[in-house]
Amino acid sequence: MRWSLCFAILVGMSQSVTIVGAGLAGSEAALQLADRGVRVRLVEMRPKTPTLVHVTGCCAELVCSNSLKSEKPDSAAGMLKRELAELGSQLYAQAKLHAVPAGGALAVDRTAFAEAVTALVEAHPLIDLVHEEVVDLVQAAEGADALVVAAGPLASDALAASLSRLAGEEHLAFYDAAAPIVMADSLDYAKLFRQSRYEDAAADAGDYLNAPFSREEYDAFVDELVGAERVIRRDFETRDLFQACQPIEEIARKGHDAPRFGTLKPVGLTDPRTGHRPWAALQLRAEDAHGSSYNLVGFQTNLTFPEQRRVFRLIPGLENAEFARYGVMHRNTFVDAPRLLDESLRLRSPEAERLGVPVHLAGQIAGTEGYCEAIRSGLHVAFAVAAELRGAQAPALPRETAFGALLAYATDPAVKDYQPMHVNFGILPPFEQRIRNKRDRYAAYAERGAEALAAYKAELAARGLAPDAGGWPEASS
């Protein structure tokens, strides 16, 4: 038993936090706060109120893949795992204990993993696990010193309605319709040109990169697009989805030339290689201020990830594209993080402030994407709430770390039309002097991130928030 927990039991510490949702983020936050002497009421609606994809009432149940992505230390996913290990994530520790062979990735026995996390939660003397549906966040906050909403992308309709009242209806999305994002250094600039519509084409003009199609290239692309394999859609993924945002393959099914008069329209563009308007053109918009990654404008899609990689590499200039994020279209309740959340993931709407207790969001409902990202957000919120309950403030997370970069991106008011994002090198701050070799550059990102993480961990220790964590398992990397 850790010293903070012993101290809390001895002195009868009365501070309490209500956490809504016992998924990856909520379970991590609950365990971390309880280990810091905070009483936690963890409320999970399952199994009394089921979802369309969960099959148990366990905490931290994985409903899609059982893979937590790469463990390579010089990958963005590997950087994130180093943070989880160094900062004492309990769910990451359980994932390592219940890992199954998956090459260079970390994959888990999903049943054993969920049961192990549930056992930890149920055994903790400062956690009260309650199985009931939260329909009113104002009521959920009553009697608590802080509220954490970690309900996940499949929050119930009643809970989503309550959150929309706190956040503002215009700042809550119920479907995730995101176009793919590709890494800038994987594009073939000999085939692309920079120009905004109706502007003169020039090397330094325009806000968009353009991928011009010849008629033959367009015909081949559309044929493959309409024949590509789509994600198998459940009812919750199709209901009302396509009324708001048509996937590019559905547009193409309406007519071979339909994309050419919509997303791929060439109007106002001149290909400098030919001096003429191309037959069709895809526009790519910079995803960050550094131009490290580009969004495929208007390419919301329901294709499987392998098919996106295959078909979208038929676009001129994208033959070797590396994807920082694949396109997705599914049920996904999340807030407009850049307008609502600060870097502690605290909800800063007038309605939330009037609640009288701090309200934090964690997990995918906060606008991040990915299993490890959800776990890390729960850990991050736990540090923030633990500090707040002491009348202090957690240290700022450096942007050079994987989650620090994601947090900066997700809470930057300059980010428009926000869609959930996972950690990737495209959102990390670039080096002043460009490192041309990709492998060397990624290794340098990891080294810089490790140094920033060490400094952050020291600040946590100085403020009494440090975890009891082991080091990064170099041998297993």
Give the annotated binding-site residues for FAD: 21-26
Q: Both tokens of residue 429?
A: 């701050």
Contact at 8 Å (CB) between 45 and 133?
A: yes
Neighbours of 417 (CB within 10 A): 10
3-state secondary structure the chain: CCHHHHHHHHHCCCCEEEEECCCHHHHHHHHHHHHCCCEEEEEECCCCCCCCCCCCCCCCCCCCCCEEEECCCCCHHHHHHHHHHHCCCHHHHHHHHCEECCCCEEEECHHHHHHHHHHHHHHCCCEEEEECCCCCHHHHHCCCCEEEECCCCCCCHHHHHHHHHHHCHHHEEEEEEECCEEEHHHCCCCCCEECCCCCCCCCCCCCEEEEEECHHHHHHHHHHHHHCCECCCCHHHHCCHHHHCCCHHHHHHCCCCCHHHCCCCCCCCCECCCCECCCEEEEEEECCCCCCEEEECCCCCCECHHHHHHHHCCCCCCCCCCEEECCEEEEEEEECHHHHECCCCEECCHHHHCCCCCEEECCHHHCECCHHHHHHHHHHHHHHHHHHHCCCCCCCCCCCCHHHHHHHHHCCCCCCCCCCECCCHHHCCCCCCCCCCHHHHHHHHHHHHHHHHHHHHHHHHHCCCCCCCCCCCHHHC
Q: Which positions make up the binding site?
A: 21-26
Tokens 């996972």 sit on residue: 422
